[in-house]
Structure formats: C-alpha cells, structure tokens
Structure 1
C-alpha cells in the first residue's frame, strides 16, 4: 500500500511540474473580446471621439453616424464605425487607447474599413 501511495504522489508531482512548465513557457496571449452592447454610452463616446480626432488630424469633415461593431483588449478599443463626408456614408475602423483613471484617450489609428 505504501508503494501505491508513493506512485500516486510521484505521479501528482510529475503532473504538477509538467503543467507548471507548460504554463510558464506558453503564457496566454491577449485577444480582442467582442463588445456586446455597442449602443452603450461609453462605447458611443469612444466612437465619436475617434471620428472627431481623425477630423482634427486630417482636416476632413466626417460626421459620425453609428458604431456597428466593437472589440476591446485591455485599454484598447477597436471600433467599426459608419460616418459620412456629407456625400456618402462609408465604413471605418479605428483603435482608441483609453486610460480611464488618468482621463487619457488617444486615437491609435483610423482607416477605411472594407
């Protein structure tokens, strides 16, 4: 019976070492999580900010229409926005970095989406 107990303990220890070495050599990678409620006020304000900041940087005069899809990864928001240049509506993709507690928002990029 002691041999059986030793075998179980050895197997448990070996399993723990294997799991630990796998976990440290392959840490989980971050990924985009879909925003379920893009109509949320905070998400809407992020999309409006992206359009306004793009206009400021480029001199364009896009007008925000709506956000139709969004993803979040930590402090980064990947937003799919519809906006118009007063001639036709077009789809755009923008990424906004936000540090809420420091009241920082930065437009990482804004481009035409397919």
Structure 2
C-alpha cells in the first residue's frame, strides 16, 4: 500500500517541482531516487523481525494475562485444576498476530500439595480480532 502511494506521487512531484522552479528538479530527482532505497530497507528490516523469537518481560501484565489464559485453556481441555504460580521466562514471535512462548510454574489446585511444576505454553494472539488460542501446553522435565 505504501509503495503504491509513493509511486503514484512521483509524477506529481516532478511536475510541481519543474513548474514552479527549475532548480527544484534536482531536489525532486533526489527524492525520486531515494524513496525506493528507503522502501527496500524497510522491507528487509521487517522481514528479519518476523518469525524471530524475542525475549519479553515475564512479569509484564500482558504476559501474565497470556499465561492465565494458557492455564485456563489447558484446564478445560485436560480436565485439570492447575493454578498459575508465576511466569519464569517469556518470548514473543511476530506471525499473523503474536505467539507467546512461556515457561510457567503451576501447582495442582485440587489439593495435590507438593511443589510447583514447570510447564511450557504457546499462546497465539490476534489482538485486532480479540482472539486467543492455545497452541501448545506441556510439562517440562528440567
């Protein structure tokens, strides 16, 4: 969309620059030549970030919200009663939305006693649709 807008402005930019002041032709040509370079840089930088897992603060409110969703969704699917103790580690990945990969600490809320266990959960969020999905939930053995 941005590229279509930029390319549609080229002819108008050159016409206005030449009509008002011939000295502006140099400025118009400089802009004409530099815009495609800027667009290429933006596309390349964006491509590098998409799909890469990047660390996020495990104590942030949004990450804790994703962790609570993961525990609740797992409890419904597996008929368990896990209670979130905390988020130990969190990463995010930009896809068609955002994936959150979290290492969680949870306890059995059904009176199991015992120590908290570690779990890994991946939650897919599409914020513009207000969609959350549990992609994976598993116990870790470390």
Higher helix share: 2
Q: Which residue of 1 aligns with 2:53?
A: 32
CA distance in 2, matches of 1:63, 1:73: 25
Q: Aligned-pair distance for 1:31?
A: 1.8
Q: TM-score under structure 1 normalisation?
A: 0.72
Q: TM-score under structure 2 normalisation?
A: 0.58
2:119 to 88, 92, 95: 92
Matches within 5 A, 1:28-107: 28=48, 30-35=51-56, 37-74=57-94, 75-85=98-108, 86-88=112-114, 89-107=116-134
Q: Aligned-pair distance for 1:38?
A: 1.3
CA distance in 2, matches of 1:62, 1:76: 22
Structure 1, gaps ≥5 residues long: 1-23
CA distance in 1, matches of 2:126, 2:113: 35
Aligned residue pair count:
89
Structure 2, gaps ≥5 residues long: 1-43
- Superposition RMSD in Å: 1.8
Larger radius of gyration between Structure 1 and Structure 2: 2
Q: Aligned-pair distance for 1:87?
A: 2.2
Q: Spell out structure 1 runs of 4+ moving beyond 4 A.
A: none
